[in-house]
Amino acid sequence: MDNRVDLIKEFYQGLPTNRVKLETFHYGFDFLEKLLTDGIVLRYGERYITGRFYKYKLANVPKERIDGLLQAHVRKECNVCLYFDGNANGLFCFNLDINHKVNNTVMIPEMAVAVTLLRDILAGAGCEPLVIASGRGYHCWCRLDAPVSNERLHKFMLGAMARTFYGLQQNGMDHRKIKANFYPDPRTQDTVSLRLFGSEHMNTKLFSQVLSREGLLDEAASWKAFEEHLRRHAIIAEAFDAGYASMTSAA
């Protein structure tokens, strides 16, 4: 099997794989008939006007089909997005999007400052994130060495984001230009998914590049950074507890 599939499986271990959101240019009832085998069911499909691609929310995905989907994912034949566990998770993610109706793939100064602030806040709390370009902004992933309840993760993320937005305001910037969503979020954990690393954005065709402190890395360097983060940056429980205490205390 492709080593990249193994890396992805290890990084995202703990996320349920029986539900998948698939992004692809394939469509039609014949395609759907082939996709919906081995017990897989379609919850809903969605056609995007821009780029004319599709998203399919699939349920009852058996384990033996996941490897094939991930293989297709790293070959850029489709994108696999996963949902979070409903109770506790061993990783969490901040999804920062540019909150503009138009041109929301064009980087804005607020986004660059926000992601730097958030990275510093998380690193300061002992939770060095892996920052990945998402198309409309960035995904900031943090891995834990053991699952933590969604409620605790959400409170931690709220605290970190509040500090980030405060920092933006201190820099004279409007925080409303950034839309921040948290994964997992107890309010939406069954309904929203996140695209995995190793994907290519359906509209922009840009690879999910890692944003290091020096800047965006190319594809090969991004895979290297992804593997390195996997090996070095799992947050141990004591560190998360300390970070949680600082993030949920009054600033």
Which residues form the interface with other proteins (CB under 8 A)? 27-29, 32, 42-47, 49, 52, 57, 99-102, 104, 176-177, 179, 188, 191-192
Q: Given the structure tokens 């409170």, which residue do they identify?
A: 155
Buried b (16+ CB within 10 A) or exposed e, 23-52: bbeeeeeeeeeebeeeebeeeeeeeeeeee
CB of 113 to other proteins, least distance (A): 17
CB nearer to other proteins: pick between 13 and 203: 203
Give the whole-angstrom CA distance, residue 34 versus residue 31: 5
CB nearer to other proteins: pick between 76 and 100: 100
CB of 28 to other proteins, least distance (A): 6
CB nearer to other proteins: pick between 57 and 201: 57
CB of 47 to other proteins, least distance (A): 5
Give the whole-angstrom CA distance, residue 52 versus residue 24: 9
Contact (CB, 8 A) for 134 and 181 = no
Give the whole-angstrom CA distance, residue 162 versus residue 157: 8
CB nearer to other proteins: pick between 177 and 233: 177
CB nearer to other proteins: pick between 35 and 206: 35
Contact (CB, 8 A) for 58 and 41 = yes
Length of the chain: 251
CB of 190 to other proteins, least distance (A): 8
CB of 178 to other proteins, least distance (A): 10
Residue 107: partners with Cβ closer than 8 Å, 6 or more residues away: 98
Give the whole-angstrom CA distance, residue 117 versus residue 168: 8
CB nearer to other proteins: pick between 143 and 201: 201
CB of 114 to other proteins, least distance (A): 15
Identity at 152, one-letter amino acid code: R
